[in-house]
Structures are given as structure tokens and as C-alpha cells.
Amino acid sequence: MSHATRNTQHVLRLTYDIYLVGVGGQGVLTIGELVAEAAHRRGVPVNFYPTKGMAQRGGFVKARIRLGREMAGPNIPEKGADLVIAMEVSEALKAVRFIKPGGDFVLFGHVWAPTAVMLGKADYPTLDRVQEQVQEAEGRMYYLAPESLPLYEGAPVPANIFVLGAATGHTGLGDILVPSEVAHVVQTRWKRGVERNRSAFQAGLNAFTGS
Amino acid sequence: MSKSVNPANPCSELLTGNEAVALGALRAGVKVVTGYPGTPSTGALASLLRMDLDDGRHVEWSINEKVAFEIAAGAAWAGQRALCTMKMSGLNVAYDSLISIAYSGCIGGLVIYVADDPGVSAGMAEQDSRGFARMSDLPMLEPASVAEAYRLVQVAFELSERAGTPVFVRLVTGIAQSKAAVELVQPNPPAPFPMREGGGSPPRFGEGSGERSEAKLVRDITKFTKAGSAICMAQHRDLIARLEKAGQVIREMGLNRLRLSPPQPPPTGGERGGGLGIIASGVMASYLEEGFEIAAQFGFERDAVSMLRMVATNPFPAAEVQALLRHCNAILVLEELEPYIERCVYIEAHRLGFEGRIVGKLDGLFSRIGECGVSHVVRGIGAALNLPIPDDLFRGSDTAEQLAAQRPITVCAGCPHRGTFMAINQAIRRLKYKKDEVMVTGDIGCTILGMNPPFHTVWSEVAMGASLGMAQGYVHGGVETPVIATIGDSTFFHAGIPGLVNAIQHQVPLTLIIMDNGWTSMTGMQVNPGTDEPFQQPGDRRVDIAKIIPALGVEHFFIIDPFDLDESAATIQKALTLPGVKVVLSRQECAIQAQRRGLKAGKVKVVPENCNLCNLCIIRTGCPAISIGEDAVVIDPNLCYGCGLCAQVCNREAIESVT
């Protein structure tokens, strides 16, 4: 189901475009902030374009990160994203048209059911359906089951940091940014929860191994 | 503002376009900054407020954009540099004063920062503010990136003072809300424009002496009043002259960059040489390099192309465009939204007898709707040069998106508006009306979310304060069932009060429900006149809506607590049956803001043995904190604010309020 091996064919590229999707409240935009900061510290030109407004309201959230261009337009064209990070199963579908054929598609399998779905009045796409669509768009699927979220002191680690770790460790993102530097940004961004965040990121880096 | 620093270059900081505008204005020595919140422009003024400036500058959220602009203009007439910020819809509000002040010009630098929203990230008309710059004959600068926004705001102040005119800086959402690196320079203290009596030359930015001098008063009725046709027509002449002067300054500054391709081989087969000329403005310029790289794969030669990077889009740089038309045999115009530049290119083409192709929106290639991107650069080049660009190069499958679940936005867990919508619905039901028999006009802000499920309460959304005027129109139009207008606190202050006064004067039978949560919430919780005093800026005071309404002579005025559903519904029900203008003030603080201070309205818990999973609590409240569990509903304790509305709709005592 998931491609557990790192794409070793990946050549070092000068530009790298990331499309992020999820639901307000999942920390999708935080992933973008962290990537932007790690890039900036490394001197990699970055343009981070979040769509805000519904962040606290359980609405669709998206963001675009363009790395490596001195002059970067904010938007990524369809079929242009080297990497998609989707934090929610249904919202992942909204990113499919942006994945570049052969690009990496990291999906965290959380299901955030809208009320109508919860009440049985509306349909919700199956995971198979989403994987099928990604495959049709020739994206390389990296699936992270919500159950794979490790615990830290008895509570699940922050999913967004875990997913960022997985993307950094297993996709081309790790070629343009240095994993240890991303880890440093994760650990210095907040005063609280340093160890929790560190372990979340590390668990992401180690994801897919042994599965 | 959060700081991200590149160790190799400590002056380089990651900023949003909004922050770049704010810091650019500080660098230019701005003295007064005013605005009204509106996505995507909010972050500019908000970032200045977060800085707690105590260096003699004045920064405020004003009651609306018109007042904000008048304050900024007054400061500029007193010789100070002033900035006014707003979204494109706000410009409509400010425009009455703006066009009058355009006729008068300004003394100190006056910059209007307006952010347009192509692609509609925030739900409003997709209007193009460049049309307003045209109509008011004011110069407009359009940065292509965050870093350019920082620089051009400073240029705008200089241009404003050298030409004596207010200047627009226009961003679009993609730049206003993008974060990118900016090389920062130390801000300058506020410094007024030296009066021109002595004939001294205006200062250039970055040359501020650092000495703060006093504001100046200038009495000049021919400049600052509109008394009589002679004055107004003279001002019209001055306005046109100032725009022309601005055009000269813009040329001196070299803002619009023209690069003609090297001379082509002599034309063969009767065709003119010179190849393709591209005109790109605003954000479109940021896609050029990327577009050229992609087009190169299909035979495009970048050295053969001529370029006009249009940074100042008003006044229209006709000389540069003519140079391009003389040199080229095809023109590609890249601009978002309306074809303002392209239309002017046609005029110049006509003047010169240009016979080549003009590719853009008017030939049907591009749409006037939505955000543009690199695909427009590539497709435009392909169309102009007949390159074999595959149709599906940028066309991903849209079937995936159609499979996604609908996710209508609703109000947050604990939002007091939820209780008000539920109470309105209950009042309508109790009066034995069907829902589609009672008009409930809506307004701008979080209160519009009552249009969505599960409430379906609100019918319309027009413009700030419009709920009141629209409701009166329904009454006069002959609607005999009750008519309700709904509005939020900030929107009421902004433009709702005149509508209410009109209804009172003309004794229009309607019920106004003001949902007062104490904050301008939709745009990220800004302070407004009604916000509680401790949260006002130092020295500011609160204006209480509960004191305004009775002072207007409203006879039937009620205050309700939206977390008390039965009482609220009964009050609204009563109001709907009374004659004349009734006002219901529904009051509870925005739950997001209250929870940021660690407050909760109360506490509820599920009694699982009483729950039969009828889901009435979810169906009625649509609260994001409630989900369906194995044997009973589950309430997320982190999301729950304890408003208790779910407990009030449960008819099996399966959710109870804990005290």
C-alpha cells in the first residue's frame, strides 16, 4: 500500500514546490511555517502562501511553498507540486490535480467527518478511492495511518510534526533541506513541548521502516 | 511578529506582504496609520499594533474605511506621512472622500494600501481596484513580491510628496499573505514634509534628519474646499497635472522597466521583426522566469523577447508601451482580473497603426475571473508564438476534487452566534411561520455563517451594514410576514447605524438583531468601538451599543444572552409581534477570544445512559465539539466552551450542565 523505501533516484534539484492541504485546526499551516523557516535559515529562497481565514473553523485549509526560486510566484500550477502533504483523507482529493507526475504524495489518514457525513446524510470518500486517484495522477503515495502516531508520555504526539518528519525523511524535501536543520527548527520554535516535538519529528523520520 | 533569521544574513527576515507594507511605511517615517480590518489586508496594520510603537506614531483600527482615510488625509494635509490600509471592498466605502481628496492632493506623503482578492479567498466581489485608481487619477504601484512591497511602499511616499498626490499601493492575496525574505533597513522616525514656501526641495526617503518637527497648518480654500465650480474645475485641472507629474517622477525613478530585444534580422516575407513583447504587471511578473524556463522546452527563446515590467500601472506608461509596439510584432499582456492595461495597449496600438497580434483577455485567451499563475505566462507565449504547448500541460484531473466531501464552514464551538441563530429559528417556528416565510437579511462577518447548515437562518449578504437597508426594502416592497435584519457589532458601528436611524425615522416595522461578541472576529479578532475597555488601546474608551440604541429613541429594545436559548427565543418571538422598529442585542463574548484568556462559559457532560444517539444535539447545534460515539455522543473537552446549548436542545437529559 505504501512505498516504504526512499526514492534514491531523486536528483538534487534547484527548485521544489510543496502543496499542503488539511482542515483548520490540524496544524497544516504550522508545517508550512516550519518548512519556510528551515529554508530561510539555510538560505534557500522560499515563498510560503497560506490560505487563512478558516483555520479555527474546521474548514478547508491549503498552503503553497515554493523553494529555490529567487522570484517565485505564490501559486503552484496544476501538475506542478513535487510534494503534496495531505493531513486529511477527503481534503487530500483537492490536492490531486496539483501533484506532478512522479511527485511524492504524503497522506496522513485522519478522517475529519463533516457534520452531514457524521449524520449519515452525505458521502465520504474511502481511503482506497483517494489512493486510486493519487495513483491515476501518477503520484507516489506515502501513507501514514493515524494509528501509527506514536505516544509520548501516554499522549499521541502532534500529527503535523510527525508528518513533517516523515516528509523530510522520505521525500525529496530532505534533499533540498537538511533533516537535522528541520529538526532544529521544530525543537526551537516553541518553548514548551520541546521533547514531545522532537520525538514526533524523529518518529516521522523513522516512519515506514520495518513496515 | 515572529522572527525567522538567516544566520548568514541577519538583516533578511521572513515577512508577509502585509508586514512588508507596514515595515516599509515605518522605514519611510510614517506618522499616522489607520485602517479597517479586511482579508487579505488586515495583517499590515495588525502587525504595527503588535509592535506597541511608542515613538510618536499613531496607529488605529478606525470605525470604517471612510473615516480611516479621512484621518490619514488630515494628517497628510498637516504635512505628515500617513498610511491607510483596507481590502478592496473597503475602498468602495472610502471612495467618497478619496475622490474629493484626490482633487485637492496632499502635502505630506499619503499612501493608500489596498489588497485585492483575485480567486476570492475571503468571499466578496472579485473587484479590481485598479479601476478606482483610473477613476480618481491617482498613481498606483503594484509590487510583484513581498520584498518589492517593502521597497515600493517607501517609493510611494516619495512619489506622493514629489507629485503632491495620494498614491495607491495595490497587493493581491497571493502577495499580501505570502511569507518571503525581505532585507530590512532600520525604520526612520516620523518626520513631516518641509513646507514648500522656501522652495526647498522635497526630501528623498532614507534622508530623514531624524528630527521630529511640529505639524503645520495650511489655509488654502482653493485647494482644500470644493466651494464653487471655479475651484472644482481648477482642482480637476490640478489633478490631471499631478498625475502627469507623477508619470514624470515614475520615469525618473525608472519604476517601469522596458527591455527591448536585440535588433532582429531584416524582416522577411513582408513581416515586421522585433518578435514578441510581453507586458507584465503586479504578481504576474513573479511568474515570468518560471514561465520562460517551461516555455523554453517548447522552442521559446527568451533573448528574442522584449519586456515591459509595469510596476506603476497608473498613470499608464504610454511612451514605454509605444516603444514596445514599435519594436515588436506581437504583444502579450499579463495581468490579473480586468484587462485595464490591455485596453490601453489597444489604444496605443491604434494610434501607431500597429498591425500585430495582442494576446490577453480581450482576444478570449484568458479569463477575467480568478487568480493567475505560471500557466498564463506559458499559454500566452504559446498562443503568441504558435508554439506547440500541450493543452494538458497544466491541467490536472478534477475528478478527484469532485469526490471530496462537502465541508460547509460553520461557527466555532462555543460561538455565541450559534445560540442567536437557534433562537431566531425557534421564534419563527413558535409563531407558526415556515422558515421560507420570514426574511432574515444578513451582513458581513462571522454572523453570515447563519446561512449555512444546520441553521439556514440568514438569506442574504451584500455589504457592510446592508442588512438594515435591505430589510426596509423588503418591508416597503410589501412583505407582510416579519422581517429580521442581523448584524455583528463591528459591522453595526461600521455602516449599520445610518440604516437603523433611517428605519427609526421612517418607522419601518422590522426587528434588528445585533450579535455583539465584542470583537471584529472574522478577520482575526480586532478591537472595535464596542470592545471591552481593558482591551482598547491605551487612552481609548469603549462605546457601548446598549447605550446607543435607547438614545436613538428605539422603544422596543431587548438584551438577550444567546446561551439562554428559551429566553432568547421568547424575546425574539415577542419582538417579532411588536410594531415599529425593534432591536434585540444578543451579547456574549467571542468564544475564541474568551478562551485565549482561559475562560469558559461553563461545563457540560454527557450522561451516556440517557443518550439514545438521536443526534438532536448535533442536528440542532452543528457544534464541532460533538461527535457520535459508540453508545452516546462524545463532547471534546478541549473544544467545548461550555455554552450549554447542546444540553438545552437534548430532550432526554443526556447532556447536563455541570456547575
| A32 pLDDT tier (thresholds 50, 70, 90) | very high
Tell me whether A177 touches chain B (CB under 8 Å): no
Q: Would you call A155 an interface residue with chain B, using a CB distance cutoff of 8 Å?
A: no
Q: What integer is the mean pLDDT of B437-465? A: 96
Between residues A4 and A144, the one the model is more confident about = A144
Query: Each residue of B390-424: pLDDT tens digit?
Result: 989 999 988 999 999 998 888 999 999 999 999 99
pTM, two decimals, is 0.94
B584 vs B557: CA distance, rounded Å: 6
Which residues on chain A are in Cβ contact (under 8 Å) with B622?
115
CB contact under 8 A, B146 and A46: no
CB atoms near residue B562 (< 10 Å): 25
The DSSP secondary structure of B219-270, one letter per residue, reads --HHHH---SHHHHHHHHHHHHHHHHHHHHHHHHHT-SEEEPPPPPPPP-TT
Residue A208 has what pLDDT? 85
At the top level of CATH, the class of B603-658 is alpha beta
Chains A and B: how many Cβ contacts under 8 Å?
Answer: 179
Pairing of strands A151-152, A155-156: antiparallel
Å between B475 CA and nearest CA of chain A: 34
Q: What number is the average pLDDT over the span B226-245?
A: 96
B257-265+273-385: CATH number: 3.40.50.920
Give the minimum alpha-carbon distance from A58 to chain B in angstroms, rounded to a whole number: 7
- Residue from A56, A99, A115, A141 to probe the interface with B (highest B Cβ count within 10 Å): A115
Q: What is the mean pLDDT of chain B?
A: 93
Contact by Cβ (8 Å): A9, A15 = no
Pairwise CB contact (< 8 Å): B289 & A96: no
User: Rounded mean pLDDT of B197-223?
Assistant: 61
Percentage of residues of chain B with pLDDT beyond 70: 95
List the single best residue of A75, A79, A91 to mutate versus B (max B Cβ within 10 A): A75
Question: Which of A30, A31, A52 to mutate to test binding with chain B, by most B CBs within 10 Å of its CB?
Answer: A52
* Contact of A111 with B323, CB cutoff 8 Å: no
Instruction: With beta carbons less than 8 A apart as the criterion, state whether A99 and A19 touch.
Output: yes
Domains and CATH numbers, chain A: 16-205 (3.40.920.10)
Instruction: List the grid coordinates of B223.
Output: 485647494
Query: What ipTM is given for this predicted complex?
Result: 0.93
pLDDT at A54 (0 to 100): 56
Contacts of A23 in chain B (CB under 8 A): 407
CA distance B652 to chain A (A): 19
Do the chains contact at B290 and A69, CB–CB below 8 Å?
yes
Exposed (0-12), middle (13-18) or buried (19+): which is A158, by Cβ within 10 Å? Answer: buried
Give me the mean pLDDT over the B538-564 stretch: 97
Burial label, B190 (beta-carbon count in 10 A; 0-12, 13-18, 19+): buried
**Topology of the domain covering B416-595:** Rossmann fold (3.40.50)
Confidence (pLDDT) at B9:
80
**What average pLDDT does range B462-490 have in this prediction?**
98
- When the candidates are 3.30.43.10, 3.30.70.20, 3.40.50.970, 2.60.200.20, the CATH number that belongs to B5-195+216-253 is 3.40.50.970
Burial zone of B152 (CB within 10 Å; 0-12 exposed, 13-18 middle, 19+ buried): buried
Cβ of B283 and A73 within 8 Å?
yes
Which chain A positions have a beta carbon within 8 Å of B403's beta carbon? 93, 125, 129-130, 133
Note the pLDDT of residue B526.
96
Determine what percent of chain A is predicted with pLDDT higher than 70: 90
pLDDT of residue B200: 41
* Mean pLDDT in residue range B310-334: 97
A43 → closest Cβ in B8, B371, B375:
B8
Phi, psi for residue B634 in degrees, rounded to 5: -120, 135
Report how far residue B170's alpha carbon sits from residue B137's, in angstroms, rounded to the nearest whole number.
Answer: 15
Domain B416-595 in the same topology as domain B5-195+216-253: yes
Q: Which of A20, A40, A41 would best serve as a mutation to test chain B binding (most B beta carbons within 10 A)?
A: A40
Q: Do the beta carbons of residue B126 and residue B120 sit within 8 Å? A: yes
Per-window interface: A 130-149 vs B, CB < 8 A: 130, 133-134, 136-137
Single out the residue of B470, B428, B467 nearest to residue B447, CA to CA.
Answer: B467
User: How, if at all, do strands B5-6 and A60-67 pair?
Assistant: unpaired
Residue B398 has what pLDDT?
A: 86
Confidence of residue B263 (pLDDT cuts 50, 70, 90): confident
